[in-house]
Structure 1
Amino acid sequence: MTTISDRLGRMTRQAQAKGRIPAVSAALHRADRPLWTCAVGGTGNDTPLDEETVFRIGSVTKTFTAALVMQCRDDGLLDLDDPVGRHLDLPAHGELTVRRLLSHTAGLQREPHGDVWDSLRAPAVEELLADLARAERVLPTGRRFHYSNLGVALLGELVARRRGGTWAEVLADRVLTPLGLAATATVPGERAATGHLVDAYSDEAHPEPPTDFGAVAPAAQLWSTASDMARWAAFLADPAALDPAGAVLAPATVEEMRWPLTTTDESLWAAGFGLGLILVPQPDRVTHVGHDGAMPGFLAAVYGRRGGAGTAGAMGCAVLGSSGAGVEVLDLAHALLAAAAEHDPAEIEPWRPGPPAPAHLRGMLGRWWGEGFEYVFSWHDGALRARGADDPAGKPPAVFAPLAERPDVFRTISGRESGELLRLTRDEHGVVVRMHWATYRFTRAQETFGGYDFRAGG
């Protein structure tokens, strides 16, 4: 019988062979199973290829810089709508906001001034800042998505200045160490694979030169193992499982980072961008959240999985490859996550009876009508909830939290109309006869906006 490990391993070997990638390392993290790893090929040097081999992860680095920025926000050191010039002395573009730079909607040019990909010499911090006056605003701010390594480099320096250390020091102290990502670093160390470009018309795999990205390190400098990156992907999908105390980020902050702020293509909505994170929608209301990475000789894909009936808690996958042209790496992470959820789904938790709804709410549960549509209000898992009567099964309900000082008023904390109030109106006997949700009237019978009751005929 084929096991899930066999299946995932075969998929990894197929991708390595099809993509002609000298080395591929893959890992899958989930809360309910041991870590799965697979390494195929060779490092291209004298070190063995195994789960401890490190690869350049390129722009996956941006997700770490984004986390550091959000930590600063949560600690009151900045606001996402601050102009970056409030925190850095810049000769130009200081009016661009932190939020715009995080979501790649600032319009700033992609790279620092100069042909860095020809020279493979990245500027030092002071040079990068001084040359900002020579960098273009290639699009109006907020017009559309435009990827910018330069923008993320500015955010990395902002974090360093606000924390009083280098970006690398702050990253190690505030993210890598708390999450146990011991193999992740700004330098390759002794267990690194060699990056290659594989010739399109022969089997030659030519080594790429090593590069240090200098002041642009916050956008692309890191090296890591697939195991470390699968753990990081799991954190992005389910932070409470890996960081229950919120030492790195509160779950609500990671949720904010995952909210899509823009699409990457105006016609094909196949991917979105949040605050430093790429969001890739999958069938059945599943989302993969993370980032891809590319540097000379290396490609990486690091994604966590959210939603879906078979998805386990803390589910994350990383695929790292030592070929700059081995694009199979980028699809494999998504395929491994989907295969694991389908062929080795999370266990189904049995339903168990729970306590009754509070006495003052029992009479208002059931079906209500608003705007001509029917809704069902219920009490589950200790909270008041509401769903459209015709909502598909996988659509999350609206969830309400009571306001302590107003017993018949609730705040919508997730789902439809999140943030809006729900107000209950009772008759002289204490029976809830009307509700207002986001100011729209809800009644037990279907009514027009003018108050015509179809059941009563007037």
Structure 2
Amino acid sequence: MTGIDERLSRLVRAVQAQARVPAVSVALHRADRPLWTCVVGGTGNDTELGPGTRFRIGSVTKTFTAVLTLQCRDDGLLDLDDPLGRHLDLPAHGELTVRRLLSHTAGLQREPYGDVWDTLRAPDVDELVADLARAERVLPPGRRYHYSNLGMALLGRLVGHLRGGTWAEVLAERVLTPLGLADTSVTPGPHAATGFLVDAYSDEAHPEPPTDFGAVGPAAQLWGTASDMARWAAFLADPAALDPAGAVLAPATLEEMRWPATVTDETLWSGGFGLGLILVPQGRRIMHVGHDGAMPGFLAGVYGRRGGEGTPGAMGVAVLGSSGTAAEVLDLPHRLLSAAVEHDPADIAPWRPGPPAPPDVRGLLGRWWGEGFEYVFSWHDGALRARGADDPAGKPPAVFAPLPDRPDVYRTVSGREVGELLRLTRDESGAVVRMHWATYRFTRAQETFDRYDFRVGS
């Protein structure tokens, strides 16, 4: 066992022992190393615990439903700002939009009508829809974050309706099979861990009853292995590495899903929600993206890592546990991701010279001033870029793409002022003498807004 393997293994074993989790299964996926796995404990039944053991992943299921929803949007079947009633015949709440449901800002009550957690009986699709008129909208749409399993169940119903099948059928066809997630399904299969409630004051572990979430399945039904879930986390963080053709979802769409739509706590901005994805900032422009899951007897944490020095491509981790109360399971993914990068960072690729900037770009490279601040425009990796002269090293630059039908006009495709235009102005000789970015004037010397040039004093 290597040093990093031993270090990660100790983290897992400490959580299993100290949090008293009957079974823990962990996998770490990264593009530059073999898959790392670790299992500790026992299944609680007559099957052996191993990397192929399935665990209930609970609300991690929501990330799959969110991806299916964005697939429908990309295929032109819906718009994120469509009300549900445009596509489904609903007795109530048809005015709530797809976007609000994805980001848990629709204000819909948390669970379907009735005492689901008392009876452990979830409604079927017909019951779910029929009882919508008895479900409350507990907050005005857009007021704040309010988590809703019912909202995600409705999105699963929407996806199945638009694709002409059940949510489970569409999921298998359009996500699980293309990404090779063969050990993920709506049923536990023959090699699954038993979920437990561990007694608070003794070492007794009480088995939890099995549950089928019926029409609420799109919110919490799935079972999977740690290896599958680590691969899924890596996809959420770096889709181009695992799905280069964009067969499941375009990288730009995953980027859209990862953009924060709301914070989850108004006073402590330590976590946010995108479109179906939990966002956990780690400082220094590092983001962990994924979801936690909780079902009777099970907890799961599935997260990918983006940004930061030493972070490799396609990095994701899954921690699956067979205790419903060991909250340490939910913290462990973040500790493992950080430890793996700290003690086994990605190799540093050598810099190599590249082709020169195109002739029509060379004259605008260098330092410019806008709004009284200095910026540096450069050409790297085949694209025009800009960044503030005083920007920290880890801050992503603005990146521009030329508009083929408009000479000397660029669109900002990422970073500062994304979506805005950059327009070049040339003199009689063809030299770029000024630019306008998002309509703000950029010049080679620092100027006031009424064009006083500090370089020449006039």
Structure-2 separation of matches of 1:186 and 1:379:
49
Q: TM-score, normalised by structure 1?
A: 0.99
Q: How does 1:260-279 map to 2 (within 5 A)?
A: 260-279=260-279
Q: What is the aligned partner in structure 2 of residue 233 from structure 1?
A: 233
Structure-2 separation of matches of 1:451 and 1:61:
56
Structure-2 separation of matches of 1:167 and 1:149:
15
Deviation at 1:18, TM superposition (A): 1.1
1:63-107 deviations in whole A, cap 9, x for unaligned?
Answer: 000011011111111111110011111110000000000100000
Deviation at 1:428, TM superposition (A): 1.0
Q: How does 1:390-405 map to 2 (within 5 A)?
A: 390-405=390-405
Q: What is the aligned partner in structure 1 of residue 168 from structure 2?
A: 168
Structure-1 separation of matches of 2:176 and 2:197:
30
Q: What is the aligned partner in structure 2 of residue 366 from structure 1?
A: 366
Q: What is the aligned partner in structure 1 of residue 64 from structure 2?
A: 64
Structure-1 separation of matches of 2:290 and 2:299:
14
Q: How does 1:149-298 map to 2 (within 5 A)?
A: 149-298=149-298
**Equivalent position SS for 1:233:** helix
Q: Which runs of 5+ in 1 are unaligned?
A: none
Amino acid paired to 1:209: P
Amino acid paired to 2:127: E
Q: Structure 1: which 4+ aligned runs deviate by more than 6 Å?
A: none
1:111-152 deviations in whole A, cap 9, x for unaligned?
Answer: 000010000000111011000000001001000000000000
Structure-1 separation of matches of 2:204 and 2:161:
45
1:157-185 deviations in whole A, cap 9, x for unaligned?
Answer: 01111111111111001100000000000
Q: How does 1:269-348 map to 2 (within 5 A)?
A: 269-348=269-348
Q: What is the aligned partner in structure 2 of residue 144 from structure 1?
A: 144
Deviation at 1:359, TM superposition (A): 1.3
Structure-2 separation of matches of 1:70 and 1:125:
22
Q: What is the aligned partner in structure 2 of residue 417 from structure 1?
A: 417
Structure-2 separation of matches of 1:430 and 1:77:
47
**Equivalent position SS for 2:386:** strand
Structure-1 separation of matches of 2:330 and 2:89:
38
Amino acid paired to 2:42: G
**Equivalent position SS for 2:281:** strand
Structure-2 separation of matches of 1:250 and 1:436:
31
**Equivalent position SS for 2:117:** helix
Q: What is the aligned partner in structure 1 of residue 110 from structure 2?
A: 110
Cα root mean square deviation, aligned: 0.8
Structure-2 separation of matches of 1:359 and 1:196:
67
1:198-228 deviations in whole A, cap 9, x for unaligned?
Answer: 1111111100000000110000000000000
Structure-1 separation of matches of 2:133 and 2:306:
42
**Equivalent position SS for 2:128:** helix
Amino acid paired to 1:426: R
Structure-1 separation of matches of 2:304 and 2:316:
4
Deviation at 1:2, TM superposition (A): 5.8
Deviation at 1:394, TM superposition (A): 0.2
Q: What is the aligned partner in structure 2 of residue 46 from structure 1?
A: 46
Structure-2 separation of matches of 1:280 and 1:222:
23
Amino acid paired to 2:361: L
Structure-1 separation of matches of 2:427 and 2:359:
16
Structure-2 separation of matches of 1:2 and 1:244:
31
Q: Which runs of 5+ in 2 are unaligned?
A: none
Structure-1 separation of matches of 2:217 and 2:357:
53
Q: What is the aligned partner in structure 2 of residue 55 from structure 1?
A: 55
Structure-1 separation of matches of 2:160 and 2:374:
52
Amino acid paired to 2:283: P
Amino acid paired to 2:451: G
Structure-2 separation of matches of 1:170 and 1:359:
49
Deviation at 1:431, TM superposition (A): 1.1
Amino acid paired to 1:138: V
Q: How does 1:7-26 map to 2 (within 5 A)?
A: 7-26=7-26
Structure-2 separation of matches of 1:310 and 1:64:
28
**Equivalent position SS for 1:325:** coil
Q: What is the aligned partner in structure 2 of residue 352 from structure 1?
A: 352
Structure-1 separation of matches of 2:428 and 2:161:
61
Q: What is the aligned partner in structure 1 of residue 27 from structure 2?
A: 27
Structure-1 separation of matches of 2:76 and 2:451:
48
Structure-2 separation of matches of 1:167 and 1:445:
59
Deviation at 1:407, TM superposition (A): 2.1
1:351-387 deviations in whole A, cap 9, x for unaligned?
Answer: 0001111112212111100000000001111111001
Q: How does 1:52-131 map to 2 (within 5 A)?
A: 52-131=52-131
Count the aligned residue pairs. 458
Deviation at 1:417, TM superposition (A): 0.3
**Equivalent position SS for 1:407:** coil
Q: What is the aligned partner in structure 2 of residue 455 from structure 1?
A: 455
Q: TM-score, normalised by structure 2?
A: 0.99
Structure-2 separation of matches of 1:418 and 1:189:
46
Structure-1 separation of matches of 2:399 and 2:254:
19
1:26-49 deviations in whole A, cap 9, x for unaligned?
Answer: 000001100000000010011010
Deviation at 1:333, TM superposition (A): 0.5
Structure-2 separation of matches of 1:355 and 1:86:
51
